[in-house]
Structure 1
Amino acid sequence: MMVESARPGFCHGILKPMKLQQFHTQKDPRATVLIAHGFAEHSGRYTQLIRQLTSHGFDVVIYDHHNHGTNIDAPKQKACVDVEKLIDDHLKARNEVANTKRTSALVLLGHSMGGLITAASALQHPHGIQGVILSAPALKLGNAMPKPVMKVARQVAKLLPRLGTASIPPEQLSSDEYVQRKYVEDPLNYVGKVPLLSASTMFAEGQKVLENKDQWPLWVPLLAVQGTADEIVNPAGTRELVKSAERRGVDVQYREVAAGRHEVLGPPNDVETTPLILAWLRHLSEEL
């Protein structure tokens, strides 16, 4: 399944079509889960989670964001993205999945930048989704510069989109040293400095989500998980969205992973978060 994603702009060459990967459960499918991965990583890092989901009766669809994983315009463009355009891509992916899925229910799951993309997608077009799962969504950046500075950075990024900002140390991803080493050694990951275009647009789109948080659709349940020791994104952004949804009467479940770093879906925190996600999805599918 392929979705054309041609768009002009800096950090873009001749674009490859966005390839959606489908994984079908061998059981009667309960729901379809569309996964959006995080910044600088790729869809292949979700193999274990996909196996868990399919083994418990859920179909899964995932893809590599533009300039991530196998969807790279050119080596120098790796991880250089306009997050607003990635949100557009997500909406296109949702449309394609809606037309081909085997189930009546579609659930969106996103981690980090993918969590930001998922939240923005749900706010922009809330219809056709039955639930949302956010893992450490990048609504507020951990070391974000003041808003006026980031606005200037957005303008500078038009001229120098690949200008490096801060690096993300692998020890901030997980407390598991094996996970840290595998991340750095994975050739499909990006381990350099965050391009200015990526940082500034991530900041801007996170601001938009929080500015519109009171518009979270009342009929879309939300599960959010967040590590308390996350230095890559600011946990306050997740809490702000969750509290707003709770005040409005949205069915919300929020779990903070004590001492959890950024990747709460992976080791060592997956022993806590995977059963939580599976239980939430089972309950959701039973209610539909």
Structure 2
Amino acid sequence: MALQEITFTSANGRDTIQGWVYEPVGRATAVVQVVHGLGEHSRRYLHLVSTLLDAGYVVVAADHAGHGRTAMESGVWADAGDDAAQVVVADALRLQAEARDRLAGAAASTGAPALPWVVYGHSWGSLIARAMTSNPDARLSGLVLGGIAAQMRGIERVLDRPALAALAAGDQAAEPAPQELVGQLFDGFLERFGPGAGPTAWVALDADVVADHGRDPFNNFGAPLSARFLQGFVDLYDQVNGDAWYATVPSGLPVLILAGDQDPVTHYGEGAYHVANRLVATGHADVRTRVFPGVRHEVHNEPTTRAEVEREITEFVARVS
């Protein structure tokens, strides 16, 4: 494996985005851009990254503004600046452009063709990935959505949107959002898991995965979300879950959706089927959906589903490349 680092100034003008390009031994046949979720970082996907490398794919990933190594460098967690929805999507597209240029330059020196590009977005990353899909410059060959954020009860039925909007537009926009509003966003996340469930029990059925998530200092999942970041999350959610989004998706783009049926982020699997059905109904014929029974949010990390999820992704990339 060869590793390149990519750094660039975030669209927020404050952070330096920390990114990486992992290249396999031998000739690569495709690129997979991994877009991580809320309160985590891209190296939590190293098992998947290793599998993709072994399959002959380049992997591109970065830590978003307010997250992971990017936040370690800036000292600012859980905040992406003003207009966070636009910032995180612009940064993901900038990473793609930077990595694409580097890989194209290397390919040109050997006469190899440009590689097909697939985006894998998990959770909040599924929102970012869907927004990327709407941009013609992304030129995607495939889209994979894991732990897809769709039909979330808190956002759609509980959140006090006027109160959040007022805070995000005010002088305290960069300050932590009230816990009441944050709690509304995550409403019902633990209700199926019993009275002894910890605050992140929804992440995985496997206790070791949950413990690993909690002790990882690059995660910092408990960092207070700024009001403007919370608003940006909701704005992006609304954008890609609205009816207008489907018309922006190229009709021939293959899509793979993966989720667990005990995951509140995807409304216990129903959100995955909803997005898939809407895609098909709007003329997108190449859609595969798989909802795994008995597991929660991180289907790519659950020991019982990890290998099968990785097989789904690697075979999907092979098919669309």
| Residue 86 (structure 2) pairs with residue 84 (structure 1) | yes
**Quick check: 2:120–2:145 contact (8 Å CA) kept in 1?**
yes
CA RMSD of aligned residues (A): 2.2
Q: Unpaired runs of 5+ in structure 2?
A: 1-5, 108-113, 190-198
User: 2:21, 2:266 → 1: CA distance?
Assistant: 29
What's the offset of the Cα at 1:271?
2.4
Q: Compared with structure 1, are the counterparts of its residues 205 and 111 closer, same or farther at alpha carbon in structure 2 (3 Å cutoff)?
A: same
Structure 1, 32-41 or 103-112: larger mean CA deviation: 103-112
User: 2:300, 2:69 → 1: CA distance?
Assistant: 22
What's the offset of the Cα at 1:202?
1.5
What's the offset of the Cα at 1:145?
5.5
Q: After superposition, where does 1:223-262 map in structure 2 within 5 Å? A: 223-234=256-267, 235-247=269-281, 248-262=283-297
- The partner residue of 2:148 within 132, 137, 150 is 137
Q: After superposition, what is the alpha-carbon deviation per residue over 1:201-251, rounded to whole angstroms, capped at 9, x for unaligned?
A: 222211111222331211211111011111234344433321122121331
Letter in 1 for 2:10: S
| Residue 101 (structure 2) pairs with residue 99 (structure 1) | yes
User: 1:177, 1:108 → 2: CA distance?
Assistant: 29
- 1:23 paired residue number: 22
- 2:123 paired residue number: 112
Letter in 1 for 2:233: M
User: 2:116, 2:30 → 1: CA distance?
Assistant: 5
**Quick check: 1:213–1:244 contact (8 Å CA) kept in 2?**
no
User: 2:153, 2:59 → 1: CA distance?
Assistant: 30
Structure 1, 207-216 or 160-169: larger mean CA deviation: 160-169
TM-score (norm. length: structure 2): 0.79
What's the offset of the Cα at 1:147?
7.7
| Residue 8 (structure 2) pairs with residue 3 (structure 1) | yes
- 1:198 paired residue number: 229
Q: After superposition, what is the alpha-carbon deviation per residue over 1:90-136, rounded to whole angstroms, capped at 9, x for unaligned?
A: 12112222222254211111100111100011013365211111102
SS of equivalent to 1:146: helix
TM-score (norm. length: structure 1): 0.88
**Quick check: 1:172–1:231 contact (8 Å CA) kept in 2?**
yes
- 2:205 paired residue number: 175
User: 1:217, 1:69 → 2: CA distance?
Assistant: 32
* Count of residues in Structure 1 that have an aligned counterpart in Structure 2: 278
Letter in 2 for 1:68: H
Q: After superposition, what is the alpha-carbon deviation per residue over 1:42-77, rounded to whole angstroms, capped at 9, x for unaligned?
A: 0110111000000011010100001100101654x3
Q: Unpaired runs of 5+ in structure 1?
A: 9-13
- 1:62 paired residue number: 61
SS of equivalent to 2:251: coil
Aligned-residue sequence identity (percent) comes to: 22
User: 1:249, 1:208 → 2: CA distance?
Assistant: 19
| Residue 224 (structure 2) pairs with residue 222 (structure 1) | no
Q: Compared with structure 1, are the counterparts of its residues 255 and 90 closer, same or farther at alpha carbon in structure 2 (3 Å cutoff)?
A: same
User: 1:84, 1:127 → 2: CA distance?
Assistant: 15
**Quick check: 2:261–2:291 contact (8 Å CA) kept in 1?**
yes
**Quick check: 2:11–2:91 contact (8 Å CA) kept in 1?**
no
Q: Compared with structure 1, are the counterparts of its residues 7 and 195 closer, same or farther at alpha carbon in structure 2 (3 Å cutoff)?
A: closer
Letter in 2 for 1:15: D
Letter in 2 for 1:226: A
User: 2:291, 2:125 → 1: CA distance?
Assistant: 18
User: 1:105, 1:145 → 2: CA distance?
Assistant: 35
What's the offset of the Cα at 1:142?
4.5
SS of equivalent to 1:62: strand
What's the offset of the Cα at 1:29?
0.9
SS of equivalent to 2:201: helix
| Residue 245 (structure 2) pairs with residue 213 (structure 1) | yes
SS of equivalent to 2:70: coil
- 1:185 paired residue number: 215
**Quick check: 1:141–1:203 contact (8 Å CA) kept in 2?**
no
What's the offset of the Cα at 1:256?
0.7
SS of equivalent to 2:143: strand
Letter in 2 for 1:250: A
Q: Compared with structure 1, are the counterparts of its residues 88 and 240 closer, same or farther at alpha carbon in structure 2 (3 Å cutoff)?
A: same
Q: Compared with structure 1, are the counterparts of its residues 171 and 239 closer, same or farther at alpha carbon in structure 2 (3 Å cutoff)?
A: same
What's the offset of the Cα at 1:140?
3.8
